[in-house]
Structure 1
């Protein structure tokens, strides 16, 4: 079951790791938006959308995937005119209720898979607060899977490469890998980009960087 997790599911699971992200207030503020962008990356992996050379996102197949969060994003995108990656990031930044809706669907999917458990707690015994518990130690599984595929000799899945690209853009690799390991991960990915079988990761990598730049710009403009 753990091998069936999507990019947004793995991202959210790691993002909800309060021990590593407790000091990242800006990061936590935009987790829902980052989750939407992770869903967009997943749509690309599933062949539902394509990132064009001019960064426009073209919808190739609008049929549902069976994943509620990803299908909701696809539904929203299909109902709008085609946009560039940065414009989609800005769109969801402005429509916060839509990003929260998709984020909630991803969290619920992790609970349904028995990966996360939601506990209701209180701050100073007054303010209600939700605590998310990684009941299956799936975070460790994700990190070790990255190590096994990219830091050791063996088969490498496109999904794992794309996850690392996304985590790197959000500076989340720092939380789980040493300086040496991060250098080796980046070296390995640059090597894989030259292989024909991983041709698509170039466009995905470019799209991820454009998403991150658009979110940063939107956040700066709002302050």
Structure 2
């Protein structure tokens, strides 16, 4: 099973070019940071106390990026708000994003290619190698919006991050996007997915989306471009 950050990253990549779509350029790293915090909350490694992120369980998850984020929280001198964590992790997310891409390559989901720029510079791109995982994500998301499938905590968080990272147009068709935005807001507000740690997840979801929106806005539209 892919993590929330991995799912968000897949949706943000152009399948053929293997680079991040332009609309998500300034917000994706913030969204990935929030996604990692949300994943750790669902896995009951962290929670919120007085609106600050606290460690509940220091046991590693087995995922390189999520464990790196968890370690950051463990080693923090004092508790921080979700907004502070999203902002501070943005500066390390570039490397963590590369780690996620390599993991997806290792899983056979993406292919790594070297692309020459002006015949002098080069960069790695990550076009889709096997599209089944992403199609399954898209089907789950669509079923939660337009079908009878009740979203679980992971899907509800992913939906909120799709909107926060300006990926609505990438995931939904022109005729779907207006209703999708409306339904995502309803899901975020009602939090009707149910979970053993529902209170903490609800609070984290609200905080993550607000933090991602504020951080992306303060970036002034810079901070990601079209690179992978």
Name whichever structure is richer in helix by fraction.
Answer: 1
Equivalent-residue separation in structure 2 for 1:36 and 1:132 (angstroms): 20
Aligned residues: 213
Q: TM-score, normalised by structure 1?
A: 0.81
- Deviation of the 1:116 alpha carbon: 1.0
**1:108 to 1:89, Cα distance in 2 relative to 1, 3 A:** same
Equivalent-residue separation in structure 1 for 2:100 and 2:18 (angstroms): 21
Q: TM-score, normalised by structure 2?
A: 0.80
- Deviation of the 1:122 alpha carbon: 0.8
Tell me, which stretches of 5 or more residues in structure 2 are unaligned?
224-228
Query: How big is each residue's C-alpha offset from its partner over 1:184-207, in whole Å with a ceiling of 9 and x where there is no partner?
Result: 443366258263725445323311
Would you say the 8 A contact 1:62–1:74 is kept in 2? yes
Equivalent-residue separation in structure 2 for 1:165 and 1:110 (angstroms): 22
Equivalent-residue separation in structure 2 for 1:205 and 1:107 (angstroms): 24
**1:78 to 1:218, Cα distance in 2 relative to 1, 3 A:** farther
Equivalent-residue separation in structure 1 for 2:105 and 2:141 (angstroms): 23
The corresponding residue for 1:76 is: 72
Higher relative contact order (Cα pairs below 8 Å, separated by 6+ residues): 2
Equivalent-residue separation in structure 2 for 1:194 and 1:162 (angstroms): 10
Equivalent-residue separation in structure 1 for 2:31 and 2:166 (angstroms): 12
**1:163 to 1:13, Cα distance in 2 relative to 1, 3 A:** same
Q: CA RMSD in A?
A: 2.8
Could you tell which deviates more after superposition, 149-158 or 122-131? 149-158
**1:149 to 1:22, Cα distance in 2 relative to 1, 3 A:** closer
Question: Counterparts in 2 of 1:1-223, with a 5 A limit?
Answer: 4-17=1-14, 18=17, 22-24=21-23, 27-29=24-26, 31-52=28-49, 54-80=50-76, 81-93=78-90, 96=91, 98-137=92-131, 138-178=133-173, 180-185=175-180, 186-187=182-183, 190=186, 193=190, 195=192, 197=194, 199-200=198-199, 201-216=201-216, 218-220=218-220
Equivalent-residue separation in structure 2 for 1:132 and 1:168 (angstroms): 23
